[in-house]
């Protein structure tokens, strides 16, 4: 028998939805700018413009964290690594699914209020999975980038499409996988496609209309400073994508963006020069997009050490002087501290095994030591760390991130010809990945082909002192980790691992306080929020978003 639909039930649900969503306030620029004043919400990709991923909520602490219990689970309907970062505002969670769906969810129960499904162009291409890392909110709109290189705006109340703007040419394999950044009256995004010979850029759009306000290329054109770091026409398809959300300093009016690899990826000899501004952090004026300064971590990169990591900002006393700092655990294996007002290099030290460089000079430029053909380069192609968000705790003064220890790659360079919209890689590589299941960390093994010995690899969650560039403690895991970090004012560190365990760690000592097996790889950082006096912690594991709170 066909089940009848109860009109009263759906009417009441609709009324509940409208009442709930309309009761919330506008997400103004001022609210985002002062996100620290409402820690019960999670207003941006990294919790605030400084990208510290540090919460001032204190209900969950070291004494009661063992009483966390699962409150609700939301299942992803699309298979694959779920890398979205939820935004939580006034009881509503906004989260994306692969490849480009957006949901508004009751943050207390997990009930879905509305869902918008975007249909990408059939010829959309991305190098590393159909990933979408989240949305931005501003005023009454929700913003999402798409795999076919568009930016869309949705109505926050009902999820209806308001406008759609082309960011890049899908036929040339441009894409947008990052969560947008809302600053003032603009929505900012960068473009992916570094493996397809794009010319990267960051662009800003009017939040109301979707019209382009400014665009800044990450590869300087003829006549622009830095253009001579490219030879011939290499700059036209030199990559330098931007696919992770940037940070913002309102006092300096600067936005900061990590820039990816040059192309072709693994044949540095095919594109002589430093290849600016690939593998750099760039500081852009928020109103005009004008370049204020840059710092290049890996000139003429031949290892795919793209610097698409999160710029973490903090004000602190640096060796006796008040400084506006930027902290950066780079994929190339070095940890950096920069002056974010000027771009001045202040500190840089390796945090994992590094042999592609013998060190950094006084200006932070690496001293290259390329390895002989057929021999391993440390760190490997995925880097000492990667895109997953770190955290900085003003409470402990420490910077936390996931690292891959004793991980290497053997590279093979080949000449590549650029063909629009096709892969432009310049060779390939063999990964000498960390080996899960090894009986003891640190026992060597021999590669029978090249007769070299390396140590068994593993994940190391590091608590770095930015004042010294040294790890205060490390927490080692069974396998490598792609998880980001969340710290709280009660000195808790929430993170996860590839094997599916969700951890609460003492942020001061590195001691494990609580964990739970969720069964799926954790590839995004947790978030925390509070509703009606209850603090929640949400994390994505595999194809499930799990939300915890203290036992009643």
Which residues are designated catalytic?
Answer: 304
Across the beta sheet with 87-89, what order do the strands follow? Answer: 87-89, 92-97, 101-106, 112-117
| Nearest alpha carbon to residue 310 among 400, 409, 193, 218 | 400
Phi and psi of 130, rounded to 5°? Answer: -80, 65
Tokens of 443: 């026992």
d(CA 7, CA 3): 12
3-class DSSP assignment, residue 114: strand
184 vs 192: CA distance, rounded Å: 24
Q: Are 52 and 114 in contact (CB under 8 A)?
A: no
| H/E segment holding residue 362 | none
Nearest to 406 by CA among 447, 376, 429: 376
Please answer whether residues 255 and 188 qualify as being in contact, where contact means their C-beta atoms are separated by less than 8 angstroms.
yes
Q: Kindly give the pairing relationship between strand 312-318 and strand 321-329.
A: antiparallel
- Residue whose C-alpha is closest to residue 204's, from 87, 292, 287: 287
Q: Which residues contact 5 (CB under 8 A, 6 or more apart)?
A: none
Question: Degrees (nearest 5) of the Cα angle 387, 388, 390?
Answer: 115
CA 519 – CA 75 distance, rounded (Å) = 13
What is the distance between the alpha carbons of residues 180 and 197, in angstroms, rounded to a whole number? Answer: 23
């Amino acid at each position: 028998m066909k089940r009848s639909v109860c009109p009263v039930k759906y009417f009441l649900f609709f009324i509940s939805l409208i009442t709930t969503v309309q009761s919330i306030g506008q997400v103004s620029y001022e609210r985002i700018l002062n996100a620290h004043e409402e820690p019960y919400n999670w207003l941006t990709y990294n919790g605030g413009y400084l990208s510290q991923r540090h919460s001032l909520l204190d209900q969950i602490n070291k004494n009661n964290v063992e009483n966390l219990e699962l409150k609700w689970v939301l299942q992803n309907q699309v298979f694959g690594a779920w890398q979205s970062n939820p935004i939580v505002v006034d009881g509503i969670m906004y989260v994306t699914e692969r490849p480009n769906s957006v949901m508004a969810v009751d943050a207390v129960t997990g009930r879905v209020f509305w869902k918008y499904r975007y249909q990408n162009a059939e010829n959309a291409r991305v190098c590393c999975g159909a990933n979408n890392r989240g949305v931005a909110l501003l005023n009454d709109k929700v913003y999402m980038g798409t795999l076919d290189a568009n930016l869309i705006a949705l109505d926050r109340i009902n999820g209806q499409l308001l406008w759609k703007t082309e960011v890049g040419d899908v036929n040339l394999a441009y894409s947008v996988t990052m969560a947008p950044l809302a600053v003032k009256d603009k929505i900012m995004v960068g473009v992916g496609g570094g493996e397809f010979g794009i010319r990267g850029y960051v662009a800003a759009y009017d939040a109301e209309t979707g019209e382009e306000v400014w665009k800044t290329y990450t590869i300087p054109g003829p006549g622009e400073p830095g253009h001579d770091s490219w030879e011939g026409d290499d700059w036209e398809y030199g990559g330098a994508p931007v696919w992770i959300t940037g940070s913002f300093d309102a006092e300096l009016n600067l936005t900061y963006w990590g820039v990816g690899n040059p192309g072709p990826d693994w044949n540095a000899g095919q594109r002589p020069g430093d290849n600016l501004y690939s593998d750099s952090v760039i500081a852009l004026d928020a109103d005009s997009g004008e370049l204020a300064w840059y710092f290049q971590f890996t000139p003429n990169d031949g290892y795919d050490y793209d610097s698409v990591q999160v710029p973490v900002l903090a004000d602190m006393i640096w060796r006796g002087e008040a400084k506006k700092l930027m902290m950066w655990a780079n994929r190339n294996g070095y940890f950096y501290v920069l002056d974010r007002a000027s771009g001045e290099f202040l500190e840089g030290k390796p945090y994992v095994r590094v042999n592609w460089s013998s060190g950094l000079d006084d200006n932070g430029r690496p001293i290259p030591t390329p390895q002989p053909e057929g021999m391993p380069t440390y760190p490997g192609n995925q880097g000492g760390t990667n895109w997953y968000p770190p955290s900085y705790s003003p409470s402990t003064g420490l910077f936390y991130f996931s690292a891959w220890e004793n991980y290497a790659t053997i590279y093979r360079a080949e000449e590549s010809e650029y063909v629009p919209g096709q892969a432009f890689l310049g060779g390939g590589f063999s990964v000498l990945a960390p080996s899960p299941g090894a009986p003891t960390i640190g026992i060597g093994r021999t590669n029978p082909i090249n007769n070299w010995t390396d140590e068994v690899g593993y994940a190391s969650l590091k608590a770095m002192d930015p004042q010294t560039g040294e790890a205060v403690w490390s927490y080692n895991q069974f396998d490598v980790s792609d998880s980001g970090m969340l710290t709280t004012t009660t000195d808790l560190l929430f993170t996860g691992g590839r094997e599916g365990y969700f951890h609460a760690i003492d942020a001061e000592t590195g001691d494990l306080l609580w964990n739970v097996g969720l069964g799926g790889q954790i590839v995004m950082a947790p978030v925390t929020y509070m509703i009606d006096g209850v603090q929640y912690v949400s994390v994505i594991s595999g194809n499930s978003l799990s939300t915890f709170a203290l036992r009643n």
